[in-house]
């Protein structure tokens, strides 16, 4: 193996490690539900459950959500939207539907980015091909942008936990910056 090939392989390992760290940052909680909302929904669900109502625990919001738990958030929001619609509030149902859709978009984009980064890492090491790796990182950045749109829709109800999202974005960008910089030099 020539010095240029070894340098290129080492650069690939560094880029993969940075992307892996971005994925780890994406596993941390990104969304914090207002403590009053979380406590009240949990208390109401607990009280209803103790009175013998079944399925009410599905109405309790968690204190925080990660990207991989966005379907849980979407499900709880959807149940509240259905409850509102049952009482004749169709505008709340439409608004909650948009929020639910954004939560699912975040989740699907995250899954896609993790899969593409994994496959792209393999192809980067085996073939030197960066397409899937680059597409996975781009999709992860899209996921972060979609997440902040979701946070904007949840204003007053939930807020972004900034450190994991910023760390994920910076590590993701660093992976590509490193790879691009090293590929230009070799």
Segment 41-74, tens digit of pLDDT: 666 666 656 655 655 556 677 788 999 999 988 8
Segment 163-184, tens digit of pLDDT: 999 999 999 999 988 877 766 6
Listed in sequence order, the residues at least 6 apart from 160 whose beta carbon sits closer than 8 Å to its beta carbon are: 30, 31, 32, 147, 148, 151
pLDDT at 2: 47
Using alpha carbons only, give the angle 42, 46, 49 rounded to the nearest 5 degrees: 140
Region 127-137: what's the mean pLDDT? Answer: 92
Region 137-151: what's the mean pLDDT? Answer: 94
Q: For the chain, how long is the longest CA-to-CA vector?
A: 73
Please report which confidence band the pLDDT of residue 1 belongs to, taking 50, 70 and 90 as the band edges.
very low
Locate 176 and state its tokens.
């590509």
């Amino acid at each position: 193996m020539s010095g240029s090939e070894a340098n290129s392989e080492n650069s690939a390992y560094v880029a993969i490690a940075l992307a892996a760290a971005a994925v780890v940052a994406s596993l941390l909680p990104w969304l914090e539900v207002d403590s009053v909302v979380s406590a009240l929904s949990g208390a109401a669900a607990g009280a209803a459950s103790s009175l013998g109502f079944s399925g009410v625990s599905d109405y309790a919001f968690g204190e925080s959500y990660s990207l991989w738990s966005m379907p849980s958030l979407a499900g709880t929001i959807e149940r509240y939207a259905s409850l509102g619609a049952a009482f004749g509030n169709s505008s709340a149902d439409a608004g909650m539907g948009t929020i639910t859709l954004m939560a699912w978009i975040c989740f699907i984009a995250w899954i896609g980015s993790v899969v593409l980064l994994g496959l792209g890492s393999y192809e980067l090491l085996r073939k030197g091909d960066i397409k899937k790796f680059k597409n996975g990182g781009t999709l992860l950045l899209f996921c972060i942008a979609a997440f902040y749109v979701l946070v904007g829709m949840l204003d007053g109800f939930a807020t972004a936990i900034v450190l994991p999202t910023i760390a994920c974005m910076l590590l993701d960008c660093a992976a590509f910056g490193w790879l691009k910089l090293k590929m230009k030099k070799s």
